[in-house]
Amino acid sequence: MNVLNQLSIWLSFQLSIIFLIGIPISLFFWSIKKRNIVVKKLLSIYWKVSILFLISLLLLIGKYNYALLIINISTFLMTISIWFWNDINDELKEYDFSNSLITTTKVWRWSVTFISINFLIQSLKNFSCLSLINSAACEIWLQPSSKFYMIIKNLFNFLFGADITQPIVKFLGLFSLLIYTLGLIQWSIIKLPKYGRNSYFSENGRN
C-alpha cells in the first residue's frame, strides 16, 4: 500500500507540472499569438494566483510543517481563479467546439479542477501530514520536491556563486507567503467588493 501511495503522490506532482505550469504557459503564448483577449486575461489572473503554488513548493523544500496544507490552499485558489469570473465564463460560452484555443482552455480548466481535488484526496489519506510534514510517515511528500530543490540550488549557484540551504529556502518561502497573503487581503477588501466577479478582460475595460 505504501508503494502505491508513493507512486500516486509522485504521479500527482508530475501531473501538476504539466497542467499547472506547462500547459498554462503554452496557452498564454497561444492566446497572444491569436490575439484572444479573454484567454489572455484568464491566464494573467491565473499566473498571479498560482504564485502561491510555487511558494508552497519552496516551503516543502524547507520542510515547513504546514507546506502540504498550503499546497492544497494554492490549488484550491488556482481552481477558483479560472472559474470565478462571470464575464470570462460568458465569453467562453460564445465560442463553438471548432475553436481549438478555447476548447483546449476549457479542457485545461477541468484538468486543473481534477488535480486540485486529487491533491486534496491524497492529502486526506495522509491527514497528519497537513500539519506535520516532518514526520517519518510524511517523507513520501518531501521526495518529489528534491528535484525542484536541485534546480533552485544550481540556479542560485550559477547566479550568485554560492550555495542555498533548505533553511534559506524556507525563509524565502515564508517571506513570500507573507507578501502574498497581504496582497490577497488587500484584493479581498478593496477590489472584490468594488468589481465583484467581473474581470474586465476587454481592452477598453478596466484591469
Tell me the per-residue pLDDT of 131-170, one tens digit each, with 9 for 90 and over.
999 888 888 888 777 777 777 777 777 777 777 888 888 9
Dihedral pair phi/psi, residue 74, rounded to 5°: -65, -45
Instruction: Tell me the C-alpha distance between 137 and 13, whole Å.
Output: 18
Tens digits of residue pLDDT in 36-49: 999 999 999 999 99
> How much is the pLDDT for 205?
43
pLDDT-derived band at 186, boundaries 50, 70, 90? very high
Residue 7 has pLDDT above 50, yes or no: yes
Q: Report how far apart, in Å, the C-alpha atoms of 77 and of each of 66, 103, 113, 119 are.
A: 17, 22, 10, 13
For residues 74-93, give the mean pLDDT. Answer: 94
Residue 183 has pLDDT above 90, yes or no: yes
> How much is the pLDDT for 203?
54
C-alpha cell at 75: 490549488
Question: Residue 65 carries which DSSP code?
Answer: T
Q: How many Cα neighbours within 13 Å face the side chain of 135?
A: 12
Q: The pTM is what?
A: 0.88
Tens digits of residue pLDDT in 102-140: 999 999 999 999 999 998 998 998 899 999 998 888 888
Instruction: Tell me the C-alpha distance between 56 and 51, whole Å.
Output: 9
The mean pLDDT of the chain is: 88
